[in-house]
């Protein structure tokens, strides 16, 4: 659990938390981990606090599974480049090269953001396999809550 909080909810992250959640949703869609998709999409919706934008993003991610292209006017070029990188890292990690990093930089991502995008995509690949491998299913509890106090590594209170 410490890995989860340090990757997705670290106080020093500069990438907005909703973008990291969106990357997690996309990686989870690719890996067909419905529990993680549902849980982190709810978190994404909560963080964005805009049902129309959240729905537009979810529809764009679902469409991208079929077309391979992320297209939506509600995301910036940097956010789209982040999703493209995360998908390639998920599907073909050995194919990642300097050109992929340069595409992120060209879209406006700085090295700290690139590392955060990488770490979140890699973490979700791991988490999806853990959840799927253990047969985790929603238990009817509330989805989408996350540790809120990023400054305290020991505070796991969910909000």
CATH number at residue 95: 1.20.1290.10
Distance CA 46, CA 26 (A): 17
Q: Among residues 65, 97, 99, which one has the least CA distance to residue 83?
A: 65
Q: What is the mean pLDDT of the chain?
A: 89
Cβ proximity of 70 and 84 under 8 Å: yes
Residue with tokens 């540790």: 147
| Number of domains observed in the structure of the chain | 1
Is 46 part of any domain?
Answer: yes
Residue-wise pLDDT for 60-114, tens only, equals 999 999 998 999 999 999 999 999 999 999 999 999 999 999 999 999 999 999 9
pLDDT, average across residues 13-26: 96
Q: Give a yes or no: residue 103 inside a domain.
A: yes
* pLDDT score for 9: 75
- pLDDT given for residue 6 in this prediction: 75
CA distance 119 to 115: 6
CA distance 17 to 66: 26
Query: What is the model's pLDDT at position 120?
Result: 96
Establish if 153 belongs to a structural domain. no
Q: What's the distance, CA 6 to chain centroid?
A: 14
Yes or no: say if 106 and 71 are a contact pair by the CB < 8 Å rule.
no
**pLDDT at 136 (0 to 100):** 85
The answer to whether residue 147 sits within a structural domain is no
What share of the chain in percent tops pLDDT 70?
A: 86
Confidence of residue 159 (pLDDT cuts 50, 70, 90): very low
In a domain, 146, yes or no: no
Q: Work out the pLDDT band at 128, boundaries 50, 70, 90.
A: very high
Task: Report yes or no on 145 lying in a domain.
Answer: no
CB atoms within 10 A of CB 8: 24
Which residue segment(s) compose the domain that 105 sits in?
A: 2-8+15-134
Q: Which residues of 68-84 are buried (b: 16+ CB within 10 A; e: fewer)?
A: eebebeebeebbbbbbb
The number of angstroms, rounded, from the C-alpha of 136 to the middle of its chain's C-alpha atoms is: 19
Specify if 111 maps to a domain: yes
Whole-angstrom distance, CA of residue 158 vs CA of residue 148: 6
């Amino acid at each position: 659990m410490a890995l989860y909080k340090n990757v997705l909810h670290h106080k020093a992250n500069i990438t907005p938390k909703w973008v990291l959640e969106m990357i997690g949703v996309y990686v989870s869609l690719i890996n067909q981990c419905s529990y993680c998709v549902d849980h982190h999409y709810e978190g994404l919706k909560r963080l964005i606090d805009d049902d129309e934008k959240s729905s537009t993003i979810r529809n764009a991610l679902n469409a991208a599974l079929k077309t391979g292209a992320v297209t939506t006017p509600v995301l910036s070029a940097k956010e789209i480049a982040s999703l493209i990188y995360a998908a390639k890292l998920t599907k073909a990690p050995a194919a990642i090269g300097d050109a992929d990093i340069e595409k992120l930089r060209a879209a406006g991502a700085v090295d700290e953001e690139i590392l955060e995008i990488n770490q979140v995509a890699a973490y979700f690949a791991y988490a999806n396999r853990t959840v799927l491998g253990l047969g985790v299913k929603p238990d009817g509890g509330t989805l989408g809550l996350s540790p809120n106090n990023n400054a305290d590594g020991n505070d796991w209170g969910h909000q």
